[in-house]
Amino acid sequence: MRRRVTATLAASVALACAGAACGGGDGTASTSGAKIAGPGSGTGRTLTVWYMDGDLSDAAVKAIDAEFTKATGAAVKVQIQEWDGINTKIATALAQNDPPDVIEIGNTDVPLFAAAGGLTDISAVRNTMAQGQTWLPGLVGPATVGGRLYAAPLFAAERAVVYNKKIWAKAGVTAPPATFAEFTADLDKIKAADPSPDFSPFYMPGQYWFGGVQFLWDAGGELATKNGDKWAGALESPQAQRGLASWKQFQNTYSTPASRNLFNLTPDYNAIFAQEKTSAILNTSVNSILKIKPSLKGQLGTFPLPGARAGTTQPVFLGGSDLAVAAKSPNQALALAYLKTATGTAVQTQAIAGIDGWTPVSSQLIDQTAGSRPELFKAFSFAAKRSVATPASPGWATIESDKSLQAFFGDISTGKTSIPEAAKSFDQHLNQALNASQ
């Protein structure tokens, strides 16, 4: 998930595609006939690629493009897109007869455009692209709709605990915990050392659903399940109920009462951490904190949030981006070659992880790059190895855009609604939203 969308976009793409064949102009098709361009086949041709502003550095993009040109002979025209209104712009572009060939799309947004017929089905070349790698479920899960793959992973962004070593040391805690029991015991010590009403041993705002779902999944619960073509909300299951209860207890115990109906960006939890109003947060990076207060660099530590079972970490919601091929692109084979280049070992290790510090797209590449990553970033990559995908339904866009998931966890944290009542109501919302396109 990289942005917010609305379900009406699917209809706009579908209507615009009506009456026009979605396929390639270089001898390929958008389904099982897809093939990847070979060496030299792109000489004299140019591929248009859309990247989002701020995701990849210029150096990383140039590295991908150079590797692609070396492999195919084709040139690359990169167009950087702004976030504001991007999904409407993507929907419009996919409906045109001259769309960009390759588009960066947030991983959980892929189902919206795939279901509308705007993206090429790349299932037939998945194994060739993966090149023996096991792609992270949190990236390819949402990109797999109806058993067919519509995008290849580009990079992952996951959450790990970021903590202030100085505050922890003052409370007598000098090493990160190995188990959840050790974790809560450490937080109890920190809470005792600073009982100030505006201090959170662990700042976890109640509407911060990215953290809440980790407790849900760790207990064996799911947001929704699919039976045939129908989705069903699963928050009323015993496992989900246990996970939600564990989430509420943790949030209410270690985060301030004032945080129970807040999201992580209002106020910005990076600023709260920088002001030392908390000893730890669950974050995707340390960079936002250091931008606010660079002097904290030597005081920061990171570790994956431990799971309830000894020796495990909590499953994480995996954000990040995928690369998709426009179904109407006239350069299907070259576009697929670009995806293969971007997911390849050389680009992932040297550019995605090496230059930009993102987590690469497979468990093997995570292990391969672990030794070279800065110590502060290793915990994020390790956490990514246990990721869970959100429901691969176009309707998931509604769940993210209407902020109902934030309200769901906020209502539980504040006690406004009991866990069983909140789960029953939200399951009904999931049933409606996830099946809206059926």
Dihedral sign computed on CA atoms, order 176, 181, 185, 188: positive
d(CA 43, CA 56): 26
Q: Pairing relation of β-strands 46-52 and 148-149?
A: unpaired
User: What pLDDT is attached to residue 370?
Assistant: 86
User: What pLDDT is attached to residue 23?
Assistant: 43
The domain ranges of the chain are: 8-157+318-388, 160-315+403-434
- For residues 206 and 259, the answer to whether their CB atoms sit within 8 Å is yes
User: What pLDDT is attached to residue 371?
Assistant: 83
Domains 8-157+318-388 and 160-315+403-434 share a fold: yes
pTM of the shown model: 0.85
d(CA 141, CA 144): 5
User: What pLDDT is attached to residue 321?
Assistant: 95
Q: Tell me, letter by letter, the H, E, C secondary structure of 269-299.
A: HHHHHHCCCECEEEECCCHHHHHHCHHHHHH
User: What pLDDT is attached to residue 329?
Assistant: 97
- For residues 304 and 160, the answer to whether their CB atoms sit within 8 Å is yes
Instruction: State the fold for domain 8-157+318-388.
Output: D-Maltodextrin-Binding Protein; domain 2 (3.40.190)
User: What pLDDT is attached to residue 103?
Assistant: 98
Of residues 164, 231, 227, 223, the one with CA closest to residue 194: 164
User: What pLDDT is attached to residue 33?
Assistant: 59
DSSP code of residue 200: B
d(CA 203, CA 209): 13
Bond before 238 cis per omega within 30 degrees: no
Place of tokens 């492999």: 71
Which one-letter amino acid corresponds to residue 190? I
d(CA 119, CA 190): 50
User: What pLDDT is attached to residue 11?
Assistant: 44
pLDDT tens digits in sequence order for the chain, 438 residues long: 444 444 344 444 444 444 334 444 443 334 445 789 999 899 999 999 999 998 999 999 999 999 999 999 999 999 999 988 898 999 999 999 999 999 999 999 999 999 999 999 999 999 999 999 999 998 999 999 989 999 999 999 899 999 999 999 999 999 999 999 999 999 999 999 999 999 999 999 999 999 999 999 999 999 999 999 999 999 999 999 999 999 999 999 999 999 999 999 999 999 999 999 999 999 998 989 999 999 999 999 999 999 999 999 999 998 899 999 999 999 999 999 999 999 999 999 999 999 988 999 999 999 999 888 888 888 998 999 899 889 999 999 899 889 999 999 999 999 999 999 999 999 999 999 999 975
In CATH, what is the architecture of 160-315+403-434?
Answer: 3-Layer(aba) Sandwich (3.40)
d(CA 78, CA 81): 10
User: What pLDDT is attached to residue 438?
Assistant: 59
